[in-house]
């Protein structure tokens, strides 16, 4: 594999960047009346406006040339056809197969992926309907009213985010809760509101070995048994979503109440699989299917549209432009949509766990920056918190703004203000406000020339700061599916350019390995063991607080 920095397009971009250093978007808009048309793209009801970026059509051409030289198209086809592109775990990456409604037969290593997916979906549908129509009863014969998804990371963030995003589609018959943290406060706070007779626990764990999930699931089981006093109750109040049938059975969950998925579904890409059961329970089967269909529509777009008019490719390559040429470290995501309040934590995992890597596909350390630090919060809250730094700070921060054109709410006027604020922020980032204008305004307000001169620099907005706007009609299941798949593929695009494996996550292992000996050292049972000075100091302090010998 040719190193990234040796690719001809990389060299071209390095040269082009030198020409672009002084580029001013404001002049570009003045000079090209059609800049918006040239640098925006529609896919379904999604509009991506990327004209407020430090790019010219030439930049985009060079970036797409880099994508081609990086064999983005070949890698994309390899993913869709089930090649083992997650090479460190020797796995295919087929979350796209989970949402293809009419699938061409896809046989991967002897497994008929299409049939297996359809069979699990059918079982999920039957189960969801039995909860909704009340034919599934709890141990004492009452229908289920509350569902608790116990999972963490990929087995929590996706479904929790979707359930928050689509709460306006929630059926009234069940309420869905999410418990992830090992901190007992999370489970205890949730159980407080629940009646064991009408509660169903979904234990969501791909491996079924995850400490947090098993601890919470065991505590939930103990809570249930303490109330219902019959081991048989577990079968009516626990179901599992997993790839590990043996461990599920060992936990005491009836294999009939287990919904499987496969090792080719990565945790952070799993909301489309059985891990989405809580979503279907909240919004109903039809809406869950609409979510899958939206993602599939984006899959088709990503697979078929030429790179120049391919939304994930464009978003991904813009990120490369900023991270690797402008030297940006972070990337802000601001959904002007309260329902998308969990989108940023979801995207943090998607992006940072996928592309927070420093070794390439040739097993060598990379010599360029990879995944950015992704952060953000819903608008307009962010405006009253950290937007100061986005507008006036010393760092350049590429940003995405997401907003719905309409919001089916009776408080339509508030949505109008929300929309206006979203557009106003991207306009302010672009236009800025000059010292001369500010001084003139202050003087016109009656301020002395001298005071105005002193105050004006503090009020200057440099402008020329980049943003993408993703405008959608309204937040419905189909649109959300499209948006999420867009970000998944964007992350994929960047991983290909950076020549890394976006689908493993070895970086989460070490802390897990170090925890058990530390846990032992905190109690009186075992010797303290070998630790660095800081960790040793902390362990010793905890032991002292507990009255243990140190």
Active site residues: 353, 384, 512
Segment 124-130 long-range contacts (CB within 8 Å, at least 24 positions apart): 124/259, 124/274, 124/277, 124/280, 125/280, 125/285, 127/239, 127/259, 127/277, 128/277, 128/280, 128/281, 128/284, 128/285, 128/288, 129/285
Asked if residue 312 lies in contact with residue 302, where contact means CB atoms within 8 angstroms, the answer is yes
- Residue 333 Cβ, how far from ligand G6Q at the closest point, in Å? 19
- Residue 156 Cβ, how far from ligand G6Q at the closest point, in Å? 8
- Residue 428 Cβ, how far from ligand G6Q at the closest point, in Å? 36
The residue among 48 and 265 lying less far from ligand G6Q, judged by its C-beta, is 265
Count H helices and E strands in the chain, helices first: 23, 13
- Residue 123 Cβ, how far from ligand G6Q at the closest point, in Å? 19
The residue among 82 and 154 lying less far from ligand G6Q, judged by its C-beta, is 154
In the bound state, the residue with its beta carbon closest to ligand G6Q is 153
The residue among 70 and 243 lying less far from ligand G6Q, judged by its C-beta, is 243
Classify residue 443 by burial, with Cβ atoms within 10 Å: 0-12, 13-18, 19+.
middle
The residue among 154 and 319 lying less far from ligand G6Q, judged by its C-beta, is 154
Buried b / exposed e over 199-225, threshold 16 CB at 10 Å, is: bbbbbbbbebebebbbebbebbbebbb
The residue among 309 and 508 lying less far from ligand G6Q, judged by its C-beta, is 508
And the tokens for 537? 């100091």
Annotate 399-426 with DSSP letters as a single string: EEEEEES---SS-HHHHHHHHHHHHHHH
The residue among 268 and 490 lying less far from ligand G6Q, judged by its C-beta, is 268
Residues that bind ligand G6Q (CB under 6 A): 152-155, 205-207, 210, 213, 266-268, 353, 505
Residue ranges of E strands in 224-263 = 238-242, 258-260
Asked if residue 478 lies in contact with residue 290, where contact means CB atoms within 8 angstroms, the answer is yes
- Residue 370 Cβ, how far from ligand G6Q at the closest point, in Å? 17
- Residue 21 Cβ, how far from ligand G6Q at the closest point, in Å? 38
């Amino acid at each position: 594999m040719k190193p990234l920095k040796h690719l001809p397009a990389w060299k071209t971009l390095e040269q082009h960047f030198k020409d672009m250093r002084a580029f001013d978007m404001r002049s570009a808009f003045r000079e090209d009346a059609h800049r918006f048309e040239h640098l925006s793209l529609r896919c379904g009801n999604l509009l991506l406006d990327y004209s407020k970026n430090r790019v010219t059509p030439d930049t985009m051409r060079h970036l797409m040339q880099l994508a081609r030289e990086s064999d983005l198209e070949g890698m994309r086809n390899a993913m869709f056809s089930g090649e083992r592109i997650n090479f460190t775990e020797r796995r295919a990456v087929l979350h796209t197969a989970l949402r293809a409604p009419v699938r061409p037969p896809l046989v991967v290593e002897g497994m008929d992926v299409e049939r297996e997916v359809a069979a699990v979906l059918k079982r999920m549908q039957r189960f969801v309907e039995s909860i909704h129509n009340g034919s599934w009863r709890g141990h004492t014969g009452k229908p289920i009213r509350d569902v608790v998804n116990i999972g963490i990371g990929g087995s929590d963030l996706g479904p929790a985010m979707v359930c928050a995003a689509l709460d306006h589609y929630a059926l009234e018959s069940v309420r869905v809760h999410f418990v992830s943290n090992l901190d007992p406060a999370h489970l205890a706070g949730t159980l407080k509101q629940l009646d064991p007779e009408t509660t169903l626990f979904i234990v969501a764990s791909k491996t079924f070995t995850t400490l947090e999930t098993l601890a919470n699931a065991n505590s939930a089981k103990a809570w249930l048994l303490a109330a219902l006093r019959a081991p048989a109750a577990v079968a009516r109040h626990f179901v599992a979503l997993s790839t590990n049938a043996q461990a599920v059975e060992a936990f005491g969950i009836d294999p009939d109440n287990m919904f499987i998925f496969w090792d080719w579904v990565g945790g952070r890409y799993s909301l489309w699989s059985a891990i989405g059961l809580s979503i279907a329970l909240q919004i109903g089967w039809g809406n869950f299917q609409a979510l899958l269909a939206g993602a599939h529509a984006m899959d088709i777009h990503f697979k078929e549209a030429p790179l120049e008019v391919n939304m994930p490719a464009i978003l991904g390559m813009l990120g490369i432009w900023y991270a690797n040429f402008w030297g940006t470290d972070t990337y802000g995501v601001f959904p002007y949509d309260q329902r998308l309040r969990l989108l940023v934590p979801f995207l943090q995992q998607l992006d940072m766990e996928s592309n927070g890597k420093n070794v390439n596909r040739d097993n060598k350390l990379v010599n360029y920056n990879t995944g950015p630090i992704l952060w953000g919060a819903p608008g307009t809250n962010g405006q009253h918190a950290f937007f100061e730094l986005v507008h006036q700070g010393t760092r350049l921060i590429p940003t995405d703004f997401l907003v719905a054109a309409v919001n089916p709410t009776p408080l339509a006027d508030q949505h109008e203000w929300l929309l206006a604020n979203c557009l106003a922020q991207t306009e302010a980032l672009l236009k800025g406000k000059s010292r001369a204008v500010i001084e003139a305004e202050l003087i016109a307000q009656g301020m002395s020339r001298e005071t105005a001169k002193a105050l004006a620099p503090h009020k200057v907005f440099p402008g020329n700061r980049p943003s993408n706007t993703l405008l959608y009609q309204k937040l419905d299941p189909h649109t959300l599916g499209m948006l999420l798949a867009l970000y998944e593929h964007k992350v994929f695009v960047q991983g290909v350019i950076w020549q890394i494996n976006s689908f493993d996550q070895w970086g989460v292992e070490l802390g897990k390995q170090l925890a058990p000996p530390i846990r032992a050292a905190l109690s009186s049972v075992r010797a303290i063991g070998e630790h660095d000075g800081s960790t040793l100091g902390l362990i010793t302090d905890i032991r002292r607080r507990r009255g243990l010998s140190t």
